[in-house]
Structure 1
Amino acid sequence: MSLQVDIRHAFEGFTLEVTCRAGSGVTAVFGPSGAGKSTLVNAIAGLFKPDVGRITLGDEVLFDQAQAVHIAPAKRRIGYVFQDGRLFPHMSVRENIRFGARYAPGGLDQKEENRLVELLGLNAILDRRPGTLSGGEKQRVALARAWLSKPRLLLMDEPLAALDEPRKDEIFPYLERLRDVAQVPIIYVSHNLAEVARLADDLIVMQSGQVALSGTAETVLSDPKALPMLGVREAGAILPAEVIGHEADGLSRLALSGGEIILPGVTAAPGTTIRLRVLAQDVLLSRKPPKGLSSHNVLPVTVETLHRGAGPGVAVRLRAGEDVLLARITARAAKEMALVPGTQCHAILNATAVPRGSIGSGAMPSETRALDKT
């Protein structure tokens, strides 16, 4: 199942013009406020009709201006999770969840409901009303309601924007679980790169109503040319890492394709694959193997490209085994080190600069996914 979008709509002082595709997995739509992210997902949901264009989901045409096709939102079989959950206050959690089944082919699937309640950890709150729930609990209920409608596509419009950091940490494992079992496209709108890096498979960067960049999340986030759009303090890389083991002092050993590193705050079991977000500003470079450092995280790397920004900084794209790292150093340092494409050097990762929110679970293999939506 794939989503194809090719639309254009003129608002007063703003034009949305987007061509993009999303397959199974999470496609994040990132950009500043006013970039057109929510407008795009509302068009996909059918909440407004673009001036021109075409939207298809699998083999079905949801919108085609030339053919006068505009399927009503309720008939698109699209689940939509808003920022505030939008639960019915007079219904219990169980009743809110089951409301989604009204739109599912065949009605309520009790076995599916039981698996979903277990997946999202809702057993203990099924009889409570929304007014008694935390923000994170409300969003988990909203996710369950959307999913129980058996959608062919799931839209999430900044579902964590109204939550503080502890509540985000509470709900993120559930979002990761849902990502890992879902076999339908998930469009995740956010202006928070930490969320995007932790959750997304693919990334669409929007500016002023248009797609500025698109590709896998790993490729886009580690592209030096993306720095002006992402912000120099947010640029970095996503690294898949296998948990080797946990030490008695609270540190964990992880295997990357380019070597081993040691990090705190890792709770995943040995053998688990996780995702790390390493910011460019937290990577130092050395031409020689460094000695006497407090950091044990040193990886041999090869310089691939250097990108000079408008200021004194240079973004250096590095190859570490099969992975890509990004380092941000000064132009003076790059000149003194004589860095050019092909230079062999060493990257030093600051372990304490990788916060818990930058450590996420990796996707499970498709054959182990529990909820089959094919």
Structure 2
Amino acid sequence: MSMLDLSIRQRLGAFTLDVSFAADGAGVTALFGRSGSGKTSIINAIAGLTRPDGGHIRVGGTTFFDSARRIDVAVEKRRIGYVFQDSRLFPHMTVRGNLEFGLRRVPAADRRIAFGPVVDLLGLGHLLDRRPRGLSGGEKQRVAFGRAILAQPRLLLMDEPMASLDAARKAEILPYIERLRDEMNIPIVMVSHALDEVVRLANTLVLIADGRVAASGSVGAVMGRLDLQAVTGTHDAGAVLDLTVERHVDEDGLTVLAFDGGRLTVPRVARAPGATVRLHIHSRDVVLALRQPAGVSLRNALAAKVVEVAESGPTAADVRLAVGGAFLIARVTRAAVRELGLEPGLPVVALVKGIAFEPTSGATARDRVVDV
């Protein structure tokens, strides 16, 4: 059974929203797309803040909306937490008061999430007696997360929760969202137009363009498609790989990561052997060769096979590569396509010269792009 099963149609002035998708299990489902594509309208319909013209919305087997069956559950009965771009805390209440407001909305018998663990999870203990005006932007958002979670939601909605934060505050709050994802077992639907957030946090990616679903699936599967760059952005084109920490090379400050397509060496990762990590490898950081090179500084060479070649501009082309059961994308010149004879089925060597490292959890550093 899907965690979220949604198919809705809604006319919003001159804009028409017509979307259908399903997301399974817990974790984060990211709705990604440009501003004005309809992402916030979708989660407002899930929350019950707006009523679609037709379709259905089901969460965990419970029907919230079904136009054919004339079901439209009231907002307060849906038990959905909502975190907005701005924290929307009650200014006259302390942090404790804001958190307890969420808890008081639920009968004691239905409270499976307790106050203390949420305070500890979000690092709010030293803030409980302060009022919102004395908090930083990141601290306010952490309180907003806590208030939403203590309302014991079936589902947590986040509408660009980091959009109003500067880079430092964003780096501060990302690990807390990872902890919510990994430790609270509450499904999350997050709206974002920042691809770095999606790559780092999401399990499922739903691309929204002009009120329609352009694609949905695992982050790796969707990011590995060449036909979606108009939505994901050509600058950010690249593949997402989930790998396992195999070993650390302490004398060189490096870590070896393994997946079914081979091994990649990256700057040391603060994770134990056996832990999983995620890499976003940009297409501009992959070089192709027809054979294993010798006498070069590049450390990462993967046996690959060309799957697809597509133009990506007046002088460039993107090449989709199968590497084991995963995919990479390389951006090369159209001249290189011609001179190397790049076509589907051709075996090549993918040389990964730069990697943006994305930990799956517990990260405190910003994204890094390094040559290895």
TM-score by length of 1: 0.90
Aligned residue in 2 for 1:369 = none
Call closer, same or farther: CA 1:67–1:197 in 2, change over 3 Å: same
Aligned residue in 2 for 1:117 = 119
Aligned residues: 359
Counterpart pick for 2:149 among 125, 147, 150? 147
Matched, 1:86 2:88: yes
Offset at residue 249 of structure 1 (A): 4.5
Counterpart pick for 1:333 among 332, 336, 339? 336
Aligned residue in 1 for 2:360 = 361
Query: Matched residue of 1:170: which SS?
Result: helix
List runs of 5+ in structure 1 lacking aligned partners: 364-374
Judge conservation of contact 2:92–2:131 (CA < 8 Å) in 1.
yes
Aligned residue in 2 for 1:29 = 31
Offset at residue 124 of structure 1 (A): 2.4
Aligned residue in 2 for 1:166 = 168
Aligned residue in 2 for 1:261 = 264
Query: Matched residue of 2:234: which SS?
Result: coil
Call closer, same or farther: CA 1:109–1:128 in 2, change over 3 Å: farther
List runs of 5+ in structure 2 lacking aligned partners: 363-372
CA distance in 2, matches of 1:109, 1:229: 41
Aligned residue in 1 for 2:320 = 317
CA distance in 1, matches of 2:193, 2:268: 25
Aligned residue in 2 for 1:61 = 63
Judge conservation of contact 1:101–1:107 (CA < 8 Å) in 2.
no
CA distance in 1, matches of 2:59, 2:153: 11
Judge conservation of contact 2:285–2:330 (CA < 8 Å) in 1.
yes
Query: Matched residue of 2:58: which SS?
Result: strand
Offset at residue 104 of structure 1 (A): 3.0
Query: Matched residue of 1:329: which SS?
Result: strand
Judge conservation of contact 2:238–2:280 (CA < 8 Å) in 1.
yes
Judge conservation of contact 1:221–1:237 (CA < 8 Å) in 2.
yes
Offset at residue 100 of structure 1 (A): 1.2
CA distance in 2, matches of 1:272, 1:288: 32
CA distance in 1, matches of 2:58, 2:231: 29
CA distance in 2, matches of 1:109, 1:70: 25
Aligned residue in 2 for 1:15 = 16
Counterpart pick for 1:251 among 233, 254, 257? 254
Runs (4 or more) in structure 1 with deviation over 4 Å come to 107-111
Query: Matched residue of 2:162: which SS?
Result: coil
CA distance in 1, matches of 2:353, 2:128: 43
CA distance in 2, matches of 1:126, 1:295: 51
Offset at residue 265 of structure 1 (A): 6.2
Give the alignment's Cα RMSD to 1 decimal: 2.1
Offset at residue 362 of structure 1 (A): 5.5
More divergent stretch after superposition (70-79 vs 261-270): 261-270
Call closer, same or farther: CA 1:190–1:347 in 2, change over 3 Å: same
CA distance in 2, matches of 1:251, 1:132: 41
Q: After superposition, what is the alpha-carbon deviation per residue over 1:227-285, rounded to whole angstroms, capped at 9, x for unaligned?
A: 12211111111111222225244433322332222223633333321111111111111
